[in-house]
Amino acid sequence: MKIPGHAAATGASRRWQGEGPWAWLSAAAVALSLLMLGALLVLLATRGLGHFWPADLHQLRLADGQRLIGVPVETRQLPDDSGYERRYFTANRDHQGGIWTWVAEDAIEQDRTPNDLIVLQRGRWGAFFGRLVAVVTETERFGGDRAWQALRQRLDHLEELRQQSESLRRDHILPLIRQMERMKEHSRLSEQLTELEQQALTLQRAMTGTVLVLETADGKRFEQPLESVLDAWHPNSMGSVEKLAHWSRGVWQFLSEGPRDANAAGGVWPAIFGTVLMVMLMSLLVTPFGVLAAVYLNEVAHQGRLTRWVRIGVRNLAGVPSIVYGVFGLGVFVYGIGGSLDRLFYADTLPSPTFGTGGLLWASLTLALLTLPVVIVATEEGLARIPLHQREGALALGATHFETLTRVVLPMATPAMLTGVILAVARAAGEVAPLMLVGVAKLAPQVPVDGEFPFLHLERKFMHLGYHIYDAAFHSNDVQAALPLVYATALLLVLVILVLNLTAIFLRHYLRLRHGVPVRR
């Protein structure tokens, strides 16, 4: 038997194997999302980590006779389609004014990578690309092949001196000055101080004296005092193992050092420290309160209409924009509570605020409030998933309500709470907008933890990885120069957050395996 029109229908569906184009487009939606995520991660990883790799230096001779030394960064099509131009990072800000040079590809006559080119990392003026002619000390002059060895030797020595001087300042001079500030009578102390300062001066003097004779690409020679040189290497003659070692050192310095050049160079250690400290304080605040509220909602409160509305309200607070929490933090914590604290306890330093301005404590509190719903919801889900018969089992043994809670229910809900806290931490670590209102600093002169009583300075401003990205990317003088570090910082932040989230996902998975199918409200 044949139904009219039936054949046509099968024909149409067979063309798409029964599912039609939309099925494929919907599959592409997943694929596209994954592709975007992957592309983002790959971009961050290559740019962020690639920056520390000692790239080969190219020596170019152009058609007009100009010579330059640089690292190619990008290639663009010329506007009139006549070819391509390439951007070189040529450093030497003190000699050329800029650090970038655009070169038309056609204009390049010769492109070589000679082994004797060196890179100097300097405290001022940034990097230098060129040749080392000689190292001149007060007594001797090292030229030719001996120059490089002499430079390495002197640099290692210099590093030692720098550390000595730093520890002298940090461990001896600064505490003394603080002591003097507290005490009235300090003639004996000031003698000590003079002596220490004399030592520091001697160290300073020991660093000076050596001068490098350098040659730029166009053959100009100049002298560079050694004490402002931080590091030196010659990328073109480095083997891959050497390069890897140099790369690891670069990564380590990025993680362990402070920023230079208005956040456009150097490391992010204070930002890592600030982020971690703030997040730790936040989790210390949010965990007990979040768990308390969840326990109240789920275990104590009468399960009526009001509780249901409160629960919906709490859930929705997770959707309230973070900037609104920032506004709340600024208005209530900073201006309200902080302002009152200042009037009560720090009246002598007014009008310069102590707690009445953004700081570590207010930032942690604001983020704790922001992440409270995350912890409450996760804990509540964990509590709801615990079977009734477990509670009844404990009650039937003569446990009170509270004992049942602390001995059976809460231990069983621990993974859920942990998941909530980790998710909260992951969210807080990536949150920047509210921090801009309640205490993050572009460049914090002091880390909030030091040797001075009370050691943890809750009122101080702090640096933050996320804000560092924003600041370096938008407020530095030369965005292009800061870009590699922004990539590296972004990669670091993303990695931290990915690890935290993966931990939470793993915990939740483990939790589901242990307690069966999740219960949904």
Partner 1 sequence: MPEPVPFSSLHRHRQRRDRLATALITAGGVGVLLAVLAIGIFLVTGVLPLFLSDNGPSLTALWQPQANVDGVVEYRWLPESLKGGGIPQVNLLPLVWGTLEAALWALVLAIPLALGAAAHSSLFMSPRLRHRIRPTLELMEAMPSVVLGFIAGLVLGPWVERHLAETFTVIAALPLGILLVAGLRRCLPGAIRHWLSLRWAALWLIPCLAGSVIVALWGASYWENLWFDGDLRAWIEIHLGLDVQARNALILGLAMGFAVMPGIYALAEDALSDVPKELCEGAQAMGATRWQTLTKVMLPVALPGIFSAVMIGAGRAVGETMIVLMASGNTALMSANPLDGLRSLASSIAIELPEAVMGSSHYRLLLLAALALFIFTFVVNTLAEVVRSRLRQRLVRQRSMR
Partner 2 sequence: MEFAREKASLDIQGLTLSYAGKPALKDLTLRIPRNKVTAFIGPSGCGKSTLLRSLNRLHDLNEDVTREGSIHLEGHDIHDPRVSVAELRRRVGMVFQAPNPFPMSIYENVAFGLRLQGRMSKRRIDDVVEWALKSAALWDEVKGRLRASAWSLSGGQQQRLVIARTLAVEPEVLLLDEPASALDPISTLKIEELIRTLKPHLTLVLVTHNMQQAARVSDYTAYLHNGELVEYGPTDTLFTHPRLRRTENYITGRMVG
Find the binding residues for partner 2 in span 6-45 (CB under 8 A). none
Q: How far apart are CA 253 and CA 236, in angstroms?
A: 22
> Which does residue 205 touch among partner 1, partner 2, none (CB within 5 to 8 A, set by kind)?
none
> Binding to partner 2 (CB under 8 A): which residues in 256-295?
none
Q: In the block, which residue shows the tokens 């461990």?
A: 171
Instruction: Assess 469 for contact with partner 1 (CB under 8 A).
Output: yes
Segment interacting with partner 2, rule: CB under 8 A, options 55-63, 133-141, 352-360, 387-395? 387-395
Q: Does residue 237 sit in helix, strand or coil?
A: helix
Question: Can you name the residues that pair with 62 across neighbouring β-strands?
Answer: 108
Tell me how far, at minimum, the Cβ of 308 lies from partner 2, in Å.
15
Q: Does residue 194 sit in helix, strand or coil?
A: helix
Segment interacting with partner 2, rule: CB under 8 A, options 228-236, 251-259, 384-392, 448-456? 384-392
> Which does residue 6 touch among partner 1, partner 2, none (CB within 5 to 8 A, set by kind)?
none
Backbone angles phi, psi at 350, to 5 degrees: -65, 150
Tell me how far, at minimum, the Cβ of 112 lies from partner 1, in Å.
31
CA-based nearest residue to 439, from 366, 389, 505, 509: 366
Choice between 230 and 412, CB closer to partner 2: 412
Question: Can you name the residues that pair with 122 across neighbouring β-strands?
Answer: 229
Tokens of 165: 């001087």
Instruction: Assess 397 for contact with partner 1 (CB under 8 A).
Output: no
Tell me how far, at minimum, the Cβ of 509 lies from partner 2, in Å.
17
Query: Using the rule CB under 8 A, which residue among 108, 174, 301, 341 binds partner 1?
Result: 301
Choice between 309 and 402, CB closer to partner 2: 402
Tokens of 119: 């890179």
Choice between 205 and 509, CB closer to partner 2: 509
Report the number of secondary-structure helices (H) and strands (E) in the chain: 18, 13
Q: Does residue 359 sit in helix, strand or coil?
A: coil
Instruction: Assess 81 for contact with partner 1 (CB under 8 A).
Output: yes
Tell me how far, at minimum, the Cβ of 217 lies from partner 1, in Å.
29
Pairing of strands 117-122, 265-266: unpaired
Tell me how far, at minimum, the Cβ of 72 lies from partner 1, in Å.
18
Tell me how far, at minimum, the Cβ of 375 lies from partner 2, in Å.
22
CA-based nearest residue to 52, from 269, 259, 263, 248: 248
Q: How far apart are CA 362 and CA 326, in angstroms?
A: 10
Instruction: Assess 399 for contact with partner 2 (CB under 8 A).
Output: yes
Query: Using the rule CB under 8 A, which residue among 109, 400, 475, 502 binds partner 2?
Result: 400
Q: In the block, which residue shows the tokens 């003659």?
A: 237
Q: How far apart are CA 124 and CA 92, in angstroms?
A: 11
Instruction: Assess 37 for contact with partner 1 (CB under 8 A).
Output: yes
Query: Using the rule CB under 8 A, which residue among 189, 337, 384, 433 binds partner 1?
Result: 433
Backbone angles phi, psi at 84, to 5 degrees: -125, 150
What one-character-per-residue DSSP string does 323-357 give? HHHHHHIIIIIIIIIIHHHHHHH-GGGTTS-SSSS
Q: How far apart are CA 154 and CA 152, in angstroms?
A: 5
Q: What is the gyration radius of the CA atoms in the chain, in angstroms?
A: 31
Q: Where are the beta strands (DSSP E) in 115-264?
A: 117-122, 127-136, 141-143, 211-215, 221-225, 229-233, 259-260
Tell me how far, at minimum, the Cβ of 144 lies from partner 1, in Å.
45
Query: Using the rule CB under 8 A, which residue among 7, 13, 152, 456 binds partner 1?
Result: 13
Choice between 265 and 440, CB closer to partner 1: 440
Query: Using the rule CB under 8 A, which residue among 116, 215, 403, 478 binds partner 1?
Result: 403
Instruction: Assess 293 for contact with partner 1 (CB under 8 A).
Output: yes
Tokens of 34: 């994954």
Choice between 345 and 402, CB closer to partner 2: 402
Instruction: Assess 343 for contact with partner 1 (CB under 8 A).
Output: no
> Binding to partner 2 (CB under 8 A): which residues in 408-467?
408, 411-412
Instruction: Assess 325 for contact with partner 1 (CB under 8 A).
Output: yes
Alpha-carbon distances of 230 from 7, 239, 343, 374, rounded to whole Å: 80, 22, 47, 46
Instruction: Assess 299 for contact with partner 1 (CB under 8 A).
Output: yes
Instruction: Assess 161 for contact with partner 1 (CB under 8 A).
Output: no
Instruction: Assess 393 for contact with partner 2 (CB under 8 A).
Output: yes
CA-based nearest residue to 234, from 152, 325, 318: 152
Tokens of 14: 């067979």
- Total number of residues that touch partner 1 (CB under 8 A): 98
Instruction: Enumerate binding residues for partner 2 (CB under 8 A).
Output: 302, 387, 389-390, 392-400, 403, 407-408, 411-412, 514
